[in-house]
Structure 1
Amino acid sequence: MSLFLYRIFLWLFVLGVRIAALKSPKARLWLAGRKNSRARIKEMGASLKKGSGPVIWMHCASLGEFEQGRPVLEALKQKDPSCRIVLSFFSPSGYEIRKNYELAEHVTYLPMDGPGMAKLWLKEIEPALVIFVKYEFWYFYLTAVKKRNIPLLLVSGQFREDQPFFRWYGDLHRYMLDCFTHLFVQSQESADLLLKNGFKHVSVTGDTRFDRVIAIAEQNGNLPVIEHFCGHHPVLVAGSTWTEDEEELDHYAKIHPEIRFIIAPHEVDQDNISEVETLFPASIRYSELSRLLGIQPHQTAVVPEWTPPANGEVALQEKFEKANTLIIDNIGMLSRLYRYADVTYVGGGFGSNGLHNILEAAVYGKPVLFGPYHEKYPEALGLVDAGGAIPIEHALDAEKKLDVLFGDVSAREKAGAASKDFIYASKGATALIMRYIEEKRLFTN
């Protein structure tokens, strides 16, 4: 792709977002987050100049990439508490959830790529170290970083032969890879592909998400509303689901009232939650059950003794008594929900949205089910090979495999143990990246 075509792509992308914003709340957030970008950058720069300590800029496409980059950020902050973190996102689904991330000096949308914007950004931010996570390659930002000789790292990279970097038209993309000081990739296959194409600044470190999910799993803290809902029933937790995923499970929920189903949709707007309720009529929302129990959402406490509801809550109590499905109508709980499952399901494997984070479920020693479109995810392939994950093709296949897992304790425990072993055997990416940073003295106060 030539630079001229890249500029056209940027223009068309913004035009497409503006058109989408007529109907899409997410597109409107994307545009609103980039209003008055120059003034915001200058304000951020003025704030940073008042302090001391090196600035680290990390850029993430969205929430999933942030979870991959987070262990490295936290390790850097631990190494030097004086450092100031600037965290940028491309997507609203990352920014809106992590805009109050406590370790960051500033959390912001990354302004759309352009030579003037990139120059202003680096002039004001003055980073000592720049980290991009997994993907998102923006030509003007990357070339501006290289021009200033600022160390630039890619964390948890993943590459395939069908990407533009390795095609005849990919000169611009290959140049962007050359801007990086070092490329830390998830697999040997990615490293071999890069080496074959002339990129020598490559290391296989694995996926930093393994370190992150282990840290989460080893934290204490219960979810009393979830505990009350589950009781002593067998439990299936389905996380980051889309309509295609929910349609694979709704019939199974209807014919198995003895199982407790916890559905955490990827989209939690009211319209989507209402659609999930239609698929799972014997359901109650997390917010409703929290109110009924008198427990604040996300409160960590011992589940109180049950007391009858007030008169105004009788209908809600009746709804709860009939429910075998709990619909999570908030964001931020999923990584802790999986601990309550006997069997887990992770969404995104039946459509174009992409398989979501299966590691959050596997770390608790749970069998993991997901849809057939998972070939691009090395962690999914690895977990299948290890025996901890079970792909499904359709609803009947899901029901057959769920029957085995719920009916055969030894099969369920064997798959769960394989999941946990796979996770713990794969940890350590953060330590390898930090070792490189320290040996190369890329980060000094």
Structure 2
Amino acid sequence: MSFIYNIGIHIARFGLKCASLFNEKIKKGVIGRQNTFKVLENRLNANDKTLWFHCASLGEYEQGLPVFKELRKQYKAHKIVLSFFSPSGYEIRKNSPIADVIVYLPLDSNSHAKRFVNTVNPELTIFVKYDIWPNFLNELKRRNLRAILISAAFRENQSYFKFYGAELRRALCSFEHIFTQNEVSKTLLQSINYNEVTVSGDTRFDRVFSQLELDNSLSFIENFKGNKLCLVAGSTWPEDENLLINYINSCDHNNVKFIIAPHNIKTLQINNIQEKLNTKSVLYSKKDETQLNNASVFIIDTIGILSKVYSYADIAYVGGAMGYTGLHNTLEPAVFAIPIIIGPNHEKFPEAKAMIDINGMFSVSNQKDFNTILNELIQNKEKRMSSGKNNGDYIRKNKGAVIQILDYLRI
């Protein structure tokens, strides 16, 4: 199996190089990985004490950030190496102050694993959620270097729990401890005789709860919103935007303002949204050139401010589940105790099911459903407030994973 896996890695390397000729995102990853060892060897020396944090992409980075921040405080004399596999994580967080060195993770070949671990020589390694790379993890174990996995979530149909998953099971056993999001994941690990498990919950709850401690004020949003109700639609895709545009074009704008933060902020997509709206809209990039309070729709054509924008919402819509791209982060708006509307394709997101069950979140399948629930939330203040409170309470009840992880690391 090890031989087959390593052959697969070399095939993947060739495939990525070919694909990079046609895909800009893949190209960034290929070029970035070519520079990884040069960056590491220039920034680290043999006497450095190090920690290594690995995240597949941006979502896992945000998930691990509360733990990373606390370890940054505790290990002030250490250099922290942060690695990403996906360009969508690296390109957005390549200047994060949480780490001293930020790189792409090389492909998981034996030679890369040995060179990477030899160069970094981490006193502690933390992987977040998944992205289990056997050669890297086995190399850490071979050198008796500590590694833990946090916020892990497993499903019965994954390779770890199949007859052909021996190599991945061996990689899991390289972790000295695994912190899972739920009991199901713990039970699955125990079924393959891995027992160093703690159900700590999801560190994302700690991450979003910390948003309440920040200054979330945005004067331009205050100017736009005024004293009206506000729907914030975050991380939307075209299928989400069609629902929103149809509703906006058919409704009375006297009492409600709309903020749309598209996932795709390329000019063509932003122009397409504006052209379909039959009411006045304003772009974030043009906010200083217009009278904000005269517009009904504010379009966020930038990244990095959605968490703060949600603090101004009375109702949120979170994109990704109307199609099949994957539901985006619903915990970000939930922490501000507001009701949330999503699409129907949310089966892989347990937090969505939980908030639906407590009547804090509402799943819609079509325009009629969307219009009905949105009108109800706009018109019925009691329902709007109680639904939002349910979401806020849900976040508070589920935070605390970070404390359990840090307590373990202090043992």
TM class by smaller structure: over 0.9
Report the CA distance between 1:78 and its aligned residue: 2.2
C-alpha distance in 2 between matches for 1:416 and 1:321? 26
Alpha-carbon distance in structure 2 between the residues aligned to 1:421 and 1:348: 24
Match of 2:303 in 1: 331
Q: Give a deviation string over 1:334-359, Cα, whole Å, max 9, x none.
A: 11111101100111112332111111
Residue 262 of structure 2: aligned partner: 265
Q: Which residue is 2:236 aligned to?
A: 241
Distance 1:274 1:29, change over 3 A: farther
- Please point out which of 129, 132, 135 is paired with 2:130: 135
Q: Match for 2:199 among 192, 200, 204?
A: 204
Give matches, 1:59-98, under 5 Å.
59-98=54-93
Give 1:132 shift. 0.4
Shift of 1:279: 4.0
**Equivalent-residue separation in structure 1 for 2:108 and 2:73 (angstroms):** 31
The aligned amino acid for 1:227 is: E
> Where does residue 333 of structure 2 map in the other structure?
361
Aligned to 1:299: none
Q: Which residue of 1 aligns with 2:162?
A: 167
What is the deviation of 1:8? Answer: 4.1
Out of 254-263 and 85-94, give the one that drifted further: 254-263
Change in CA separation of 1:422 and 1:225 when aligned onto 2, cut-off 3 Å: same
Q: Is the 8 A contact 1:38 1:117 kept in 2?
A: no
- 1:36 Cα offset (Å): 3.4
In the alignment, structure 1 residue 407 sits paired with structure 2 residue 379: yes
After TM superposition, the score normalised by the length of structure 1 is 0.87
CA RMSD in angstroms, aligned pairs only: 1.8
Is the contact between residue 56 and residue 130 of structure 1 (CA under 8 Å) also seen in structure 2? yes
- Whether the 8 Å CA contact 1:44–1:125 is kept in 2: the answer is no
Alignment partners' CA distance in 2, 1:226 and 1:8:
53
- Structure 1 unpaired stretches of 5+: 293-315, 440-445
- Contact 1:237 1:261 (C-alpha < 8 Å) held by counterparts: yes
1:15 to 1:236, Cα distance in 2 relative to 1, 3 A: farther
- What is the one-letter code of the residue matched to 2:21? L
The answer on whether the counterparts of 1:205 and 1:429 sit within 8 Å (CA) in structure 2 is yes
Give how far 1:14 is off: 3.4
Give per-residue Cα distances to partners, 1:95-152, cap 9 Å, x unaligned. Answer: 1111111131111111111111111111111100000000101111111111111111
Among candidates 173, 176, 195, match of residue 178 of structure 1? 173
Question: What secondary structure, in the 3-state scheme, does the structure 1 residue paired with 2:44 have?
Answer: helix
Structure-1 separation of matches of 2:295 and 2:21: 37
- Aligned pair 1:287/2:282, yes or no? no
User: Could you tell me whether the CA contact under 8 Å between 1:131 and 1:155 is conserved in 2?
Assistant: yes
Among 188, 202, 207, the residue aligned to 2:183: 188
1:117 correspondence with 2:121: no
In the TM superposition, residue 263 of structure 1 has moved relative to its aligned partner by 1.1
Partner of 1:28, secondary structure, is helix
Q: 1:327 to 1:200 in 2, by over 3 A?
A: same
Q: CA deviation at 1:81?
A: 2.3
**Counterpart for residue 391 of structure 1:** 363
How far apart are 1:12 and its partner, in Å? Answer: 4.0
Letter in 2 for 1:42: E
Cα distance in 2 for partners of 1:8, 1:280 equals 52
Among all aligned residue pairs of Structure 1 and Structure 2, give the percentage whose two residues are the same amino acid. Answer: 40
Aligned twin of 1:442: none
After superposing on structure 2, the runs of 4+ consecutive aligned residues of structure 1 that deviate more than 4 Å are none
Q: State the match for 1:33 in structure 2.
A: 32
Aligned partner of 1:223 in structure 2 is 218
- Alpha-carbon distance change, 43 to 326 in structure 1, aligned in 2, over 3 angstroms: same
Is structure 2 residue 393 aligned with structure 1 residue 421? yes
Aligned partner of residue 72 in structure 1, secondary structure: helix
Which amino acid in the other structure matches residue 388 of structure 2? Answer: G
Label 1:12 to 1:238 Cα distance change in 2 as closer, same or farther (>3 A).
Answer: farther
The answer for unaligned runs of 5 or more in structure 2 is: none
The 1:12–1:244 alpha-carbon spacing in structure 2 relative to 1, beyond 3 Å, is farther
In the aligned structure 1, how far is the partner of 2:274 from the partner of 2:4?
45
How far apart, in 2, do the equivalents of 1:370 and 1:11 lie? 40
Give, as a single letter, the amino acid of the residue that structure 2 aligns with 1:337. V
- Aligned to 1:34, the other structure's residue is in SS state helix
Q: 1:376 Cα deviation (Å)?
A: 1.3
Q: How does 1:288-303 map to 2 (within 5 A)?
A: 288-289=286-287, 291-292=288-289
- Partner SS state of residue 301, structure 2: coil
Find out whether 1:252 has 2:237 as its counterpart: no
Number of residue-to-residue matches in the alignment: 408
Indicate how the Cα distance of structure 1 residues 18 and 419 shifts in structure 2: closer, same or farther if over 3 A, else same.
same
Query: Aligned letter for 2:265?
Result: V
Task: After superposition, give the CA deviation of every residue in 1:234-285 in whole Å (9 maximum; x if it has no partner).
Answer: 1111111122221222211212233211111222232332333344454221
Q: Distance in 1 between matches of 2:324 and 2:143?
A: 38
Once residues 16 and 301 of structure 2 are traced to their aligned partners in structure 1, the CA distance between those partners, rounded to angstroms, is 26
| 3-state SS of paired residue (2:98) | coil
Partner of 2:145 in structure 1?
A: 150
Q: What secondary structure sits across from 1:33 in the alignment?
A: helix
Amino acid corresponding to residue 390 of structure 2 in structure 1: A
